[in-house]
Structure 1
Amino acid sequence: MDTSELLKKVRKIEIKTRGLSNHIFSGEYHTAFKGRGMNFSEVREYQFGDDVRAIDWNVTARFHHPFIKVFEEERELTVMLLVDVSESAAFGTVKQRKKDLITELCAVLAFSAINNNDKVGVIFFSEGVEKYIPPKKGKSHILLIIRELLSLEPKKNGTNIRDTLRFFNNAAKKRSIVFLVSDFLAAPHYQEALTIAARKHDMVGVHVYDRHDKELPPAGLIRMQDAETKQLRWVDASDRKVQEFYTRQFQEHARYCREAFIKSGAELLSIRTDEDYVKALQAFFSKRI
């Protein structure tokens, strides 16, 4: 993709997703995530009806009169996007590729965040971390992120969610809102790292999948390639046992993903490539209010 084509695509994504974030998601985003952190503001004298649990006993002892700690909502948040850029994201059969949906979702979330004066950072990952963009504010920063979403080509095969979460757990010094966006078609064993991340951060998984990730169409004898291992093999797609095995593999990954997020206390949102992601995001934000 040459520079002029890339800039056109960036502009197209900006116009569509910024409009959605301005007119649809700005209020929902703010309401869904406000108050996730509280900063100490001051102490003042205790008044009737105040929560006794907020009493500052050190100040109270010093002045022989009850004082309480006053906290204010932390207005500025940090949003981290953990984005799967492995080769399996290039798959899509109905409306668009998973990668295209991931790009739009991340752009909408990023613009919603900067509309709320929040910082946005990104970790692109495949078998390992491909690129880390530290959190910053501003439109130019978001456009940089969109350019990377559109143009970044993974250097490694496969998908490693566990090591990506470990990298994030070590890199993140401040509590963040974290969107882990992936098709989750990876080897399991990321439960422990996800649990550690969810203890400190507001973790949300976004499971992006295509209809034919789950259902193999009865297309007869076809040559299939694993997007991440590049292995080729001939498959009889019309064979019932082959179709059942294909569906079972998807269901096993999806089940592990659901259970991992439930056990860790994180949330999970699933969106199919031919579904309306606007409605899915609105429903998710509304549920958190």
Structure 2
Amino acid sequence: MRRQPLKPTDPPAPNGPALPPLDWPALKRLEGWRAGPYLGLRRGQGLDLADLREYQAHDEVRHIDWNATARLNEPQVRLFHEERDTSVWFLVDQSRSMQFGSGHLTKASLAHSLIWGLATRWLRQGHRVGMLGFDELDPPRLRQSARALGGRRGAAQLRHALQPAPRPASRGHRQQHATDGTRQQALARALRQAGASLRQRAIVLVLSDFQEQSDWEHLLGRLALRHDVVAFQVVDPLELALPDLGLLHLQDAESGASLWVDSHDRLLRERFARAAAERSERLREAFHRAGVDALALSTEGDWVADLLRFVRLRSGRPVLVNRPDGMPSSEGAVA
């Protein structure tokens, strides 16, 4: 059983299921220099009434609420929720392990569908989107593929950024596959780069299978101190439970290591499932310690329904994480 790479002809923005209207809940104050359709957390210019308060010397007369003034016998001014545009950044794992899929979807194609669905909706609302792609090559590459732009320019840049990156010509095993050291750096370097380059507060969505073993947890937590960060773990069912199919040839897409296993062995399948569950639990704890919301999306699940449930739950609950078994959660867990 080998991991199947994406075909070169696969579109960078696959025609996945369309996302229905959704209001992404911003749990941190975001910054934008232009007025826009995004409802901010601070008071300012806008259309949505936030509160009333007594008139002060610096207030504009046009903001006086004359009905409230007549009722209270004191001048009252209207305060509004400030409407701002915002920047949305996608940090996208483009390593070889994301090219695995045991069914009709690879992990990469699911991630691309999610990115394109969210990005096109945000672009239509007047926001700006950008992307930072990273992979496991030696040395690790950071692809500052798309600046935060809006409208058609933002869509065109994102479509180009989602195309698979050309890999260097093979000159031996070292360039074909990542070494253990570099494979454990890519996500950490991407998080460090995002923390250093994102000046204004933004929504940051990290999409990865999180197979990297480096110390990325504290970098994710540091990024979440300033930005509204959400982690999407993309998983395949075959990574969680080994099927009973007899003799299987397994190969690690990033390191190139391979081995034969007898999947008829019940104890082997149990150990495999137990190791997968333990890894998912470690990830859940890492997201909790980093203080970020996280959702696991399966290549065989209804990821649109899972996303919509996640967004609704996130609107009313501070921190949501993936289930310990690594499969999408329909209820979430308060960390």
**TM-score of the superposition, structure 1-length normalised?**
0.78
AA matched with 2:247: L
Match of 2:152 in 1: 139
Q: Is the 8 A contact 2:124 2:151 kept in 1?
A: no
Aligned with residue 142 of structure 2, among 105, 130, 148 = 130
Q: Do structure 1's residue 236 and structure 2's residue 262 form an aligned pair?
A: yes
> 1:1-289 alignment to 2 at 5 Å?
5=9, 9=11, 13=14, 16=16, 20-21=18-19, 24-25=20-21, 28-30=22-24, 32-33=25-26, 34-36=38-40, 38=42, 50=53, 72-127=81-136, 128-132=140-144, 133-153=146-166, 157=178, 158=183, 160-289=186-315
CA gap 1:182/1:75 in 2 versus in 1, 3 angstroms = same
Q: Name the counterpart of 2:72.
A: none
CA distance in 1, matches of 2:167, 2:116: 19
Per the TM alignment, residue 144 of structure 1 is displaced from its structure 2 partner at its CA by 3.2
Structure 1 residues 228 and 95, CA gap change in structure 2 (3 angstroms): same
Q: What is the CA-CA distance between 1:191 and the residue it aligns to?
A: 1.4
Contact kept in structure 2, 1:83 and 1:180, CA below 8 Å: yes
CA change 1:207–1:2 in 2 (3 A) is closer
**Equivalent residue letter for 1:175:** R
SS in 2 for 1:29: coil
- Identify the range of structure 1 (105-114 vs 123-132) with the bigger mean alpha-carbon deviation: 123-132
Q: After TM superposition, which residue ranges in structure 1, 4 or more long, deviate above 6 angstroms?
A: none
Higher mean C-alpha deviation, range 275-284 or range 192-201: 275-284
Higher relative contact order, structure no. (Cα contacts within 8 Å, ≥ 6 residues apart): 1
Change (3 A) 1:142 1:262: same
Greater per-residue helix proportion: 1
Counterpart residue number, 2:31: none
Deviation at 1:173, TM superposition (A): 0.5
Aligned partner of residue 84 in structure 2, secondary structure: coil
From the superposition, tell whether residues 196 and 229 of structure 1 become closer, same or farther in structure 2 (CA, over 3 Å).
same
Unaligned runs of 5+ in 2: 1-5, 27-37, 46-50, 60-75, 169-176, 316-335
Cα distance in structure 1, aligned partners of 2:167 and 2:239: 21
| Counterpart residue identity of residue 50, structure 1 | R
CA gap of 1:220–1:168, structure 2 versus 1, over 3 A, is: same
Q: TM-score, normalised by structure 2?
A: 0.68
Q: Could you tell me which runs of 5 or more consecutive residues in structure 1 were left unpaired when the two chains were aligned.
A: 42-47, 61-66
C-alpha displacement at 1:249, in angstroms?
3.1
Q: CA RMSD in A?
A: 3.3
Q: The residue matched to 1:185 in structure 2 has which SS?
A: coil
Secondary structure, in 3 states, of the residue corresponding to 2:249?
strand
> Size of the alignment, in residue pairs?
263
- Identity score, percent: 25
Find the residue that maps to 2:280 and give its secondary structure: helix
